[in-house]
Amino acid sequence: MTAHRIVFANEKGGTGKSTTAVHVAIALAYQGARVACIDLDHRQRTLFRYMENRLDTEKRRDIALPGTRFTYYDGESVEELEEIAAEIGADQDFLLFDTPGKDDPLARYVATTADTLVTPLNDSFVDFDLIGQVEGETFKVKKLSFYAELMWEARKKRAHSTINEAKRDLDWVVVRNRTQQLQARNMKRLDGALQELSKRVGFRIAGGLSERVIFRELFPSGLTLLDKGQLGDLGTSHLVARQELRGLVAGLNLPVPTRPAVVDEPDLAVAAE
């Protein structure tokens, strides 16, 4: 069995990439999936540190939580990375990569090998510039970015490959993490540009996390909003954030195996209404 590769990649920082990656990984574990993670951001190691904190909380509270295999890679060799991926991803349903928020050769490489590529964006034209440029007056897409062209070429190459006919297509999902409310006119412009570019390049658009502060507060404990029994009473904002997470996981449309869900999260795959 070959693990389904999920790559979280964005060459811009501050888009909630690692936060999204961690919570998707744990959400999959709650659904009964076997998940392995490789953190390629060897300086910050946010995903790696989050999972370490989760293990520490388990030991400290003497509890068992759904989790993942995890490691980080701080080298530069594609071959060595693939060896680590083969080892940690053996017998796993998903192999998840978290990449640094910068232009990085290994990040580009794993993006082109992804089965599901997840690119979180803040709702702004500053972040949109990663995948495309717009006209200053009309806000129509005038040019693909280098990153979008790279993904476009990777998809074409995979589609025409005769080396492995069973190779899965690259499903590119742009996740809109909203950090602030946009004016209605700007929201309409951004919506139009994203829809136009999605048709040209072939990515899908999914709703993300509107308030990431709630998720970041959980970092020291390694807990997530899915760990209901460990969080005490939750406020309305926490419940909304958890429902957004469920909607995000459903929107990724991942091939989750049919195994019993863990603990009491039977409705993880239900999209937010």
Identify the residue whose tokens are 């702004």. Answer: 124
How many Å apart are CA 232 and CA 213, to the nearest integer?
A: 18
How many Å apart are CA 25 and CA 261, to the nearest integer?
A: 14
Q: Looking at residue 263, what is its pLDDT?
A: 55
- Please give the model's pTM, rounded to 2 decimal places: 0.88
Q: Are 173 and 6 in contact (CB under 8 A)?
A: no
Contact partners, residue 106, CB within 8 Å, separation at least 6 = 40, 73, 76, 78, 81, 99
* Residue predicted with more confidence, 157 or 164: 157
* Segment 95-149, tens digit of pLDDT: 999 999 888 899 999 998 999 999 998 878 888 888 888 888 788 888 888 888 8
Joined together, the tokens standing for residue 99 give 């990449």
Fill in the amino acid letter for 81.
L
How many Å apart are CA 27 and CA 66, to the nearest integer?
A: 9
Domains of the chain: 4-252 (3.40.50.300)
Q: Looking at residue 269, what is its pLDDT?
A: 39
- Taking the CA atoms of residue 70, residue 75, residue 78 and residue 79 in that order, the dihedral angle to the nearest 10 degrees is -80
Q: Which pLDDT band, with edges at 50, 70 and 90, does 156 fall under?
A: confident
Which of 148, 250, 238, 237 is closest to 206 using CA atoms?
250
